[in-house]
Amino acid sequence: MKAWQIHELGEPEDSLKLEEIDTPDPMPGQLLVKVEAVGLAFPDVLQCRGEYQVKPPLPFTPGGETSGTIIAVGEGVEDFTVGQKVIALGGGLAEETLVHAQMSFRVPDSMDLIKAAALPMNYGTTWFALHDRAQIQKGETLLVAGASGGTGSAAIQLGLAAGAKVIAVAGGEEKVDACRELGADVVIDHREEEDLVEKVREVTNNQGVDIAYDPVGGEMFQKIRRCMSWNGRLLVIGFVAGIPELATNHVLLKNYSVVGVHWGASLGRDPSSFKRQMSSVLELAAKGEVDPLLHPTYTFDSSNKALQDIADRKVIGKVVVDLVKS
């Protein structure tokens, strides 16, 4: 079978190579899946560069979200059978891949496998951030930075589903339009707005935001922290624009919390939480409250370009590689 592998760390377009490898056999507790779609995200780019906190041994196949059809099950697997459609956290850019049954979920008949592959990482991270870490309440105000991206668009939808007023921050007309289509209550183009902080204060009647969701970092983090309300929660999701310094005196004076969100590590400590999160997300999807914002899909042969486009911040919404499309 074919799989994309990295033997030397670097930029995805240069380091990823499409190779022939042997089909693996499922170990106890594993499923062998014929892959139909793979979701990609910025952590995959960081892994290609060797900059992510989890560093798999070389060579490795990137891609952490897989949907497809079970073709074999390992010993001890009771909840899945051959022929079922599944979505899994794990797997990657290969025609066939192994995933853990514990981190797999049946795909509802009403959902196609492209959208299924867009769910685990972005919606799992965001559900954990908003509900477990921020304890979001109906009527609160949620600011989402990088709102047109995969995690940002998930935050808009899950925030609205939780009954929050959502302020989306994005850069450029196309990205701003995408946020409006997702239903954000207020959309701010940070490229056009001279003073983002003053604008947020204006739309919140000088109260600030109860929760801020920041996958951007860098200078955006410095602006967001000045938008926090008394007793607010600033969620640190990532830092694609750089790791910011934190003015702890400001945290003290405004009495807000800076909250780390390391979803992957939380699953290691409590693997069963994945089922709880995905069950909630799929229930919302059935109601139409979750519908992933998708960038145009990539073919399997262009997987390296897909990851490079994420690295170069050329995408809007979630990137999915379609292994069925030629």
Cβ neighbours, 10 Å, residue 219: 12
AA letter at 229: S
Q: Is the peptide bond before 59 cis (omega within 30 degrees of 0)?
A: yes
| Beta strands 65-73 and 30-40, pairing class | antiparallel
SS3 116: helix
Q: In 3D, which of 115, 122, 196, 130 has the Cα closest to residue 152?
A: 122
User: Residue 163 above 70 pLDDT?
Assistant: yes
SS3 content of the chain, % helix, strand, coil (to 5): 35, 25, 40
Complete domains list, the chain, with CATH:
2-118+294-322 (3.90.180.10), 122-264 (3.40.50.720)
What confidence score (pLDDT) does residue 326 get? 61
CA distance 102 to 239: 29
Q: What is the pLDDT of residues 84-121, one digit of tens each?
A: 999 999 999 999 999 999 999 999 988 999 999 999 99
Give the residue carrying structure tokens 């699953």.
267
Give the residue carrying structure tokens 């830092």.
239
User: Residue 239 above 80 pLDDT?
Assistant: yes
User: Residue 54 above 90 pLDDT?
Assistant: no
User: Residue 257 above 80 pLDDT?
Assistant: yes
CA distance 314 to 326: 22
Question: Residue 206 class from Cβ within 10 Å (0-12 exposed, 13-18 middle, 19+ buried)?
Answer: exposed
Q: What is the pLDDT of residues 190-209, one digit of tens each?
A: 999 989 999 999 999 999 99
Q: Which pTM does this prediction carry?
A: 0.93
Contact 313, 152 (CB under 8 A): no
